[in-house]
């Protein structure tokens, strides 16, 4: 039985959307696949494994910041907050925030993966029956209607941890923050987790773990293309390749063809030469000054900054200016 506190808003992202973006990406001179499609059930499970690897410092570092400072973060969000989380994940960080807030009014997870979204939302609604849970199945990289609770509410709070903002290029990241600020409205708050620039060897290792979990995660995107679009992808013909570009300040993740081959999707044919790649993800890294400047250009005010003792990761609390 669905908990009374759970209301679902399904904007019906379709298989046609996925197919269209895959075909468009593979038609480019530098072939690409959108990283937002990493997180089917298999991809989400693999990402949880990545977060537990020794090399991937991001998750454990951010979690420690939240343990040390969540009370301060919650105080900046205020009572009766509506928490909006694009790309909601396993829910550990979400529960930390919701548990620290004073009588939160609602939680709005937004994700493309309908089954995972609804499962996680139902579990949370069952665990927190006094909280309205309003899952939205949508592509949050595009404008979407933001539901409101039935009870009086305080500030709208965008919770965007995990350095997911780094998957946007810098101009798109700024545009995303500006759009979300407009949707949150005056007085809104953004709790933003951002990976900071550091030793390139640490960054390289984080995306090339010794156990090969990230490689399997990357290849699963092609496996999803094969499963969903009846493609004849030969996964053994591609190899995971990730590196840090210090000039652009980003990790680039690719799938590199190991031989001459052709990938077929319906009537479309995409040929690959040895060494030709599909660009699957970028992960931009920032300095504190770059985060502040980006926020200011997006019309946001930096209210507080929290980091770890090694200064590897930043949680920035941003405010939407009143009026």
Beta strands in 67-220 (DSSP E): 82-86, 106-111, 132-133, 136-137, 156-160, 189-195
Of 87, 105, 100, residue with least CA distance to 161 = 87
Mean pLDDT, the chain, whole residue set? 93
Q: What is the percent of the chain with per-residue pLDDT over 90, rounded to a whole number?
A: 77
What's the confidence (pLDDT) of residue 256? 98
Length of the chain: 323
pLDDT at 323: 58
Inform me whether the pLDDT recorded for 105 exceeds 70.
yes
Residues 316 and 305: their CA atoms lie apart, in Å, by 5
Q: How far is CA 313 from CA 223, 253, 264, in A?
A: 32, 20, 41
For residue 238, the surrounding DSSP H or E stretch is: strand 238-245
Query: Bridge partners of 262?
Result: 271
What is the reported pLDDT for 1?
39
The whole-angstrom separation of Cα 93 and Cα 258 is 39
Residue 281, beta-bridge partner list:
253
Asked if pLDDT for residue 98 goes beyond 80, the answer is yes
The answer to whether residues 198 and 285 touch, using CB atoms and an 8 Å cutoff, is yes
Q: Distance between CA 322 and CA 98 in Å, rounded?
A: 24
Domain ranges of the chain: 54-198+287-320
Band of the pLDDT at 238, cuts 50, 70, 90?
A: very high
| pLDDT category of residue 2 using cuts at 50, 70 and 90 | very low
Closest CA to 317 of 70, 43, 55: 70
The angle subtended at Cα 101 by Cα 75 and Cα 50, nearest 5°, is 105
Structure tokens at 78: 């205020």
Average pLDDT value for residue range 37-46? 91
HSE (side-chain half, CA atoms, 13 Å) at 235: 13
Report, as an integer, the average pLDDT of 167-189. 96
Is the per-residue pLDDT at 4 higher than 70? Answer: no
CATH number of 54-198+287-320: 3.40.50.150
Q: Which of 108-117, 132-141, 149-158 has the lowest mean pLDDT?
A: 108-117
253-267 per-position pLDDT tens digit:
999 999 999 999 989
């Amino acid at each position: 039985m669905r908990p009374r506190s759970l209301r679902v808003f399904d904007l019906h992202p379709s298989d046609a959307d996925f197919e269209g973006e895959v075909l468009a990406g593979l038609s480019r001179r530098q072939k690409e696949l959108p990283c937002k499609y990493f997180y089917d059930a298999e991809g989400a499970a693999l990402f949880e494994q990545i977060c537990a690897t020794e090399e991937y410092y991001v998750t454990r570092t951010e979690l420690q910041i939240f343990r040390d400072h969540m009370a301060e973060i919650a105080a900046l969000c205020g009572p009766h907050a509506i928490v909006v989380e694009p790309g909601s994940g396993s829910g550990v960080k979400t529960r930390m925030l919701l548990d620290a807030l004073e009588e939160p009014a609602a939680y709005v997870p937004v994700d493309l993966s309908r089954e995972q979204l609804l499962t996680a939302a139902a579990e949370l609604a069952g665990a927190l029956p006094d909280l309205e849970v309003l899952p939205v199945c949508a592509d949050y990289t595009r404008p979407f209607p933001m539901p409101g609770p039935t009870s009086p509410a305080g500030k709208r709070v965008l919770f965007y941890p995990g350095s997911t903002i780094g998957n946007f290029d810098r101009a798109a990241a700024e545009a995303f923050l500006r759009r979300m600020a407009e949707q949150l409205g005056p007085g809104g708050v953004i709790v933003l987790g951002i990976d900071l620039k550091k030793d390139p060897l640490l960054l390289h290792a984080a995306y090339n773990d010794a156990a090969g979990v990230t490689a399997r995660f990357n290849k699963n995107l092609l496996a999803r293309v094969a499963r969903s679009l009846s493609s004849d992808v030969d996964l053994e013909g591609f190899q995971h390749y990730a590196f840090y570009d210090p000039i652009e300040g980003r990790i680039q993740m690719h799938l590199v063809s190991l031989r001459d081959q052709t990938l077929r999707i319906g009537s479309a044919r995409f040929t690959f030469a040895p060494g030709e790649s599909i660009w699957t993800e970028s992960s931009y890294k920032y300095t504190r000054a770059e985060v502040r400047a980006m926020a200011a250009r997006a019309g946001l005010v930096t209210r507080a900054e929290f980091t770890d003792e090694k200064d590897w990761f930043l949680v920035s609390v941003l405010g939407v200016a009143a009026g």
